Amino acid sequence: MSKQVQLILNDQEKPVFAVLPYTTYLELIKGKDVPDDLSIATSLISPDGLKIRLPHGGPGAEIDLVRLVDYCRQSSMVSMAVNARQQTLDKFDSKQLGSLDHLLRTQFLAKDSPYRNTMQATSEVVDALVRTGIFRRSKRDFGGYYRAVLALDYIAEQGDEFMSEKKIPLFNRIPNLYWYYSDRT
């Protein structure tokens, strides 16, 4: 099998992409065991499946999936624009404050984090969210954007299944209109 997998390395000789047969990919997303010769060492998803590391959020920065799924459930989320922006938080248009990038920066990074003005909704983070099975990519029209944009759809059945044995956070829940109840930065 290892002869069928091609790794694409970055400048530091670390794997950033793996090209593999489509049937192998389908087996992986169905939850079958990962072959020993197909290492996924660079995965952002924690071994217990409860956290996703934010590689541009500084040391220890991560998405708590229980908090995120709880937010999606309580706000009846269907979809949110990814809105990955290389701009400071104060430059976000008020119509775009409910986007994934804004959510990640304001709800999963500390208020005093120097990384709050750094884009967090990178392709690899969105890929990790999709790999959980709780989210999927789409393109949608949202108010505040002049065309259809990349979006992250919440799959309610999968979210309910994920939360079935999890405790809903008592403290530190993300309010439905979090951007309205807290300052933008």
**Per-residue pLDDT tens over the stretch 48-102:** 999 999 999 999 999 999 999 999 999 999 999 998 878 888 888 888 888 999 9
pLDDT at residue 1, as a whole number: 42
Q: Write out the two tokens for 182.
A: 């807290």
More confident position, 179 or 98: 98
172-181 mean pLDDT: 79
Helix 100-107 to helix 65-74 angle (10° resolution) is 120
Name the phi and psi angles at 18, rounded to 5: -125, 130
Strand partners, 15: 9
Residue with tokens 């790794």: 7
Domain ranges of the chain: 1-42, 44-181
The whole-model pTM stands at 0.74
Residue with tokens 């109840």: 181
What is the three-state SS of 88-109?
Answer: CHHHCCHHHCCCHHHHHHHHCC
**Per-residue pLDDT tens over the stretch 104-125:** 999 999 999 999 999 999 999 9
What residue type is assigned to position 143 of the chain? G
